[in-house]
Amino acid sequence: MFRSVLEGPTAQADMTVLVNGAETPAWDGETVAGVLLRVPGAGRTSAVTGEPRLPYCQMGVCFDCLAIVDGVASTQGCLVPVKPGMRIESQQGAREIGR
Amino acid sequence: MDADVIIIGAGVVGAALAYGVAKTGRTVVVLDGGDRDLRAARANFGLVWVQGKGSDAPAYSLLTRQSSDLWPEFRNELANRSPLALDYSRPGGLAFCLSETEYENRAAINERTHNQGAEADTAMVDRAELERMLPALTLGPDVVGASYCKLDGHVNPLQLLASLHHAIPSMGGKIMFRNPVEKIVPVAGGFNVIAAQGTLQAPRVIVAAGLATPTLTEPLGLSVPLRSERGQILVTERLAPILPFPGSGLRQSADGTIMIGATNENVADIGVTVSSATQLALRAMRIVPALGSARLVRQWAGMRVLPLDKTPIYAESLDYPGLFAAACHSGVTLAAAHAAMIAPAMASGHLPDQFAPFSNGRFNVQKCA
């Protein structure tokens, strides 16, 4: 998987976020999409074709980083900076809206 | 002569007619307008809708039912002539009622339609029944019930247009895009159609140019009285399936997007407004409150093509036989009838008596009296 350029060999993580329930180190200035790239198997599947997808453009255009962030589905991960304790979940296929 | 039939307008009405003409083995050339034309066919909601249509016009109600019944075969045939996707289904449709008054008014419309001889294919369903029909969602507290018509269905209207545009050339027809017509000139044995890309000649001309139809036909004395009405539509992101039935003003496409529409505004431009977005979204949330969390991805507007009495106009010029006009609001619903019934009639040069209720003569009070 990818490695963050912010992450030095000795640098302490600034925070912990939950990715699909797993505690994951994260650094100030990272986006949700950045974290998703580092975590194996944390991509989503396309609502159109069902194919696996990873964050791509990192600038809000491609929508391939959609994730469920703190319960809000279809969040563009590349536009959201990480926060301590943030819950990030992979979004599979078309979004389900609550009842 | 350049073709047996020239059709002016490659929207969903002109294209369905051209498809029907091509099926008869005649040569057809379709002339489409400019990119900035109004293009109702590209703003459509996509219902193939029976309930409520022609509640005061029995002939329109009957034609709508005929077209709805022709649609499955029309769809399959068209899909076989084109490699493009063409999402269509006919699970029946719902008109949601958000108050006792709406419920009673809807029941009255159904009764009026049935009293005119239409089959009783529409029934009122109460809230409890509606909840059983829609197990994947929670209805808002205002929902009293709905009217359900088993004939209703829906189609992706952009795929319909693209499929027609693909099928016509494959059947020997020709479509000339960005070729707006300036005027139609009667000549010996037919008509010259003077357009941006040159003049074409044919013994028969069908004008299906939406709201631009009268400007082309009226100089030749063929009156096609139309008015327009703006409709705005919202569409959400793709969602997991929750709405198994299309509804008037609320349908989930095969792609998963939910379309929310449409306003009826007496406005001449195709802009979109915050107030209409609010009004549409609020009503959708009164039906399905969970939609409040769905993301909107687009809002657009189109201009409805409305004959003055809302009933389609299929007219032939008395002064210039061979010149026809077709204009209607329900270009998608009626596409199957246009291809199978109207196109062969116009192509053969005569509209049979069964279509007399759609003639433009009905607007001429003096003549009727």
Query: Within this chain, do residues B30 and B168 fall inside the same structural domain, yes or no?
Result: yes
Nearest CB among B240, B242, B291 relative to A93 is that of B240
Query: Within this chain, do residues B232 and B303 fall inside the same structural domain, yes or no?
Result: yes
Query: Within this chain, do residues B183 and B58 fall inside the same structural domain, yes or no?
Result: yes
Angle at B322 between CA B317 and CA B325, to 5 degrees: 55
Domain of residue B14, CATH code: 3.50.50.60
Q: How many C-beta atoms lie closer than 10 Å to residue A49's C-beta?
A: 9
Cα separation of B272 and B266, whole Å?
Answer: 13
Chain B residues lying within 8 Å of A97, measured CB to CB? 239-240, 242, 290-291, 293-294
Residue span of the structural domain in which A34 resides: 21-90
Q: Does an H or E element contain B303, and which? A: strand B296-307
Residue B296: which pLDDT band, with cuts at 50, 70 and 90? very high
Residue span of the structural domain in which B108 resides: 93-129+141-150
ipTM: 0.81
Minimum distance, in Å, between the CA of residue A74 and any CA atom of chain B: 8
Judge whether residue B117 has pLDDT over 80.
Answer: no
Query: Within this chain, do residues B187 and B53 fall inside the same structural domain, yes or no?
Result: yes
Q: Does an H or E element contain B74, and which? A: helix B58-80
Cα separation of B236 and B286, whole Å?
Answer: 16
Considering the domain boundaries, does residue B85 fall inside one? no
Query: Within this chain, do residues B318 and B249 fall inside the same structural domain, yes or no?
Result: no
DSSP β-bridge partners for residue A68: A89
Query: Within this chain, do residues B185 and B218 fall inside the same structural domain, yes or no?
Result: yes
Looking at the structure of chain B, the number of domains it has is 3
Structure tokens at B106: 């809807």
Structure tokens at A38: 């580092």
pLDDT per residue over B25-58, tens digit each? 999 999 999 999 999 999 999 999 999 888 789 9
Backbone angles phi, psi at B344, to 5 degrees: -60, -35
Query: Within this chain, do residues B312 and B221 fall inside the same structural domain, yes or no?
Result: yes
Least confident of A3-7, B195-199, B259-263: A3-7
Upper half-sphere CA count for residue B103 (Cβ side, 13 Å): 13
pLDDT per residue over B298-325, tens digit each? 999 999 999 999 999 999 999 999 999 9
Tokens 């109004």 identify what position?
B38
Judge whether residue B368 has pLDDT over 60.
Answer: no
HEC profile of A29-55 = CCEHHHHHHHCCCCCEECCCCCCEECC
Considering the domain boundaries, does residue B241 fall inside one? yes
Cα separation of B297 and A67, whole Å?
Answer: 17
Judge whether residue B119 has pLDDT over 70.
Answer: no
HEC profile of B164-228 = HHHHHHHCCCEEECCCCEEEEEEECCEEEEEECCEEEEECEEEECCHHHHHHHHHHHCCCCCEEE
Considering the domain boundaries, does residue A64 fall inside one? yes
pLDDT score, position B76: 98
- The model's pTM: 0.92
Query: Within this chain, do residues B301 and B233 fall inside the same structural domain, yes or no?
Result: yes
Considering the domain boundaries, does residue B87 fall inside one? no
Judge whether residue B291 has pLDDT over 60.
Answer: yes
Looking at the structure of chain A, the number of domains it has is 1
Chain A residues lying within 8 Å of B294, measured CB to CB? 95, 97
Cα separation of B134 and B139, whole Å?
Answer: 9
Considering the domain boundaries, does residue A50 fall inside one? yes
Query: Within this chain, do residues B250 and B303 fall inside the same structural domain, yes or no?
Result: yes
Question: What's the whole-number mean pLDDT along residues B218-223?
Answer: 96
Is beta strand B204-207 parallel, antiparallel or unpaired with respect to B323-327? Answer: parallel
Whether the upstream peptide bond of residue B262 has omega within 30° of 0, thus cis, is yes
Considering the domain boundaries, does residue B83 fall inside one? no
pLDDT per residue over A5-52, tens digit each? 765 656 788 999 999 999 999 998 899 999 999 899 999 999 888 999
Considering the domain boundaries, does residue B105 fall inside one? yes
Query: Within this chain, do residues B219 and B240 fall inside the same structural domain, yes or no?
Result: no
What's at B240, amino acid-wise? A
Nearest CB among A48, A72, A96 relative to B240 is that of A96
Considering the domain boundaries, does residue A29 fall inside one? yes
Nearest C-alpha in B relative to A63: B237
Angle at B129 between CA B123 and CA B135, to 5 degrees: 125
Nearest CB among A48, A72, A94 relative to B240 is that of A94
Mean pLDDT of chain B: 95
Query: Within this chain, do residues B238 and B303 fall inside the same structural domain, yes or no?
Result: yes
Closest to B124 measured CA to CA, from B68, B53, B133 = B133
Considering the domain boundaries, does residue A10 fall inside one? no
Residue B179: which pLDDT band, with cuts at 50, 70 and 90? very high
Give the strand order in the sheet containing B93-97. Answer: B93-97, B145-149, B122-126
Nearest C-alpha in B relative to A49: B255
